[in-house]
Amino acid sequence: MGNKIVTFSEEQLEDYQDCTYFTRKEILRLQKRFREMSDPGMVPRSMTSHEASNLRLPLNCLARIPELKENPFRDRIGQVFTRNGLESDQTEDEVEGICFEDFLEMMSVFSEHAPRDLKVYYAFRIYDFDEDGLVGLGDLEHTCRQLVRGGLTDDEISTVCQKVLEESDIDGDGALSYLEFEHVVTRAADFLSTFHIRM
C-alpha cells in the first residue's frame, strides 16, 4: 500500500455527494481542478471542511477554466455563486473570492446531470444584474452589451431589448418575471447545451 493522501473525510464526501450531482470521484477531480486554478501552494491537497468553505480564490481565477475564459458572463457567474456562500454576518464586500464549496455548487449547476429547472433558476439570477427579482430593460441591455462587446450601438441594443420585452413580457409590466423568463428559456432548444461546463 502506498501513501494515499486523503483529500476529504468520508463525511465531507458524503455531504458533497448529497448536495451536488457528482460522484465521489468527480468531487475529487473538481478539488484537483480548483487547486490547479490557484497559484501554486495556495490550496492544500487535503482540505478540512473549514478550508473548503473559507479558503477563497480571487474570482479572476475562473478565467483558468476553458469554458469560462471567454465567457462574457464569467464575472457575473462568479458573483452569483459566491453570494450563495455569504454567512449571515458577512457583507458582499467581505467575500472576495470563490471557495471550494461555491465552486462545487457552480460546477454542479453547470453539470450535464443538473435538472433544467435548476439551470433556469441560475440563468435568471445571472441575468438579473440589479438583483431586483426581475429581468428588466436595464438587465437586458447589460446582457446584450456583454454579448455583443461593442458590436452594436446603444440605439441598436435598445431596439433589440425592446423587441425581447415585446415578445416575452406576457403581463406587460416592462420586465420579465421568473415565470416569463422560464417560459422563454425553455423554448430555446440549445439552452441546456450552452448552460454547461465540462468536468
pLDDT, residue 84, reads 56
98 and 39 within one domain: yes
In this prediction, the residues of the chain whose per-residue pLDDT falls under 50 are: 1-3, 85-94
In a domain, 5, yes or no: no
73 and 155 in a single domain? The answer is no
Q: 145 and 98, same structural domain?
A: no
- Alpha carbon distance 66, 81 (integer Å): 18
Residues 175, 92 share a domain: no
Domain boundary among 114, 132, 157: 114
- Quote the cell numbers at residue 72: 462574457
What pTM does this model have?
0.86
Same domain? For 101 and 192 the reply is: no
C-alpha cell at 29: 477531480
Is 2 a domain residue? no
Take residue 40 and report the three cell numbers written for it.
501554486
Residue 180 belongs to a domain: yes
Asked if residue 96 and residue 119 are part of one domain, the reply reads no
DSSP 55-120: -EE-GGGGGGSHHHHT-TTHHHHHHHHHHTT--TT--GGG--SEEHHHHHHHHHHTSTTS-HHHHH
Give the CA distances from residue 75 to residues 28, 43, 113, in Å, rounded to whole numbers and listed in that order: 25, 21, 24
Q: Residue 1 falls within a domain, yes or no?
A: no
Render pLDDT for 112-152 as a digit per residue (tens, 0 to 9): 999 999 999 999 999 999 999 999 999 999 999 999 988 89
Q: Is 170 inside any structural domain?
A: yes
Q: What is the pLDDT of residue 4?
A: 52
CATH number at residue 23: 1.10.238.10
Q: Tens digit of pLDDT for each residue in 83-94?
A: 654 444 444 444
pLDDT of 154 reads 94
Q: Can you give the residue range of the structural domain that contains 33?
A: 10-114
DSSP 64: G
Number of domains in the chain: 2
End residue of a domain, out of 95, 114, 133 = 114
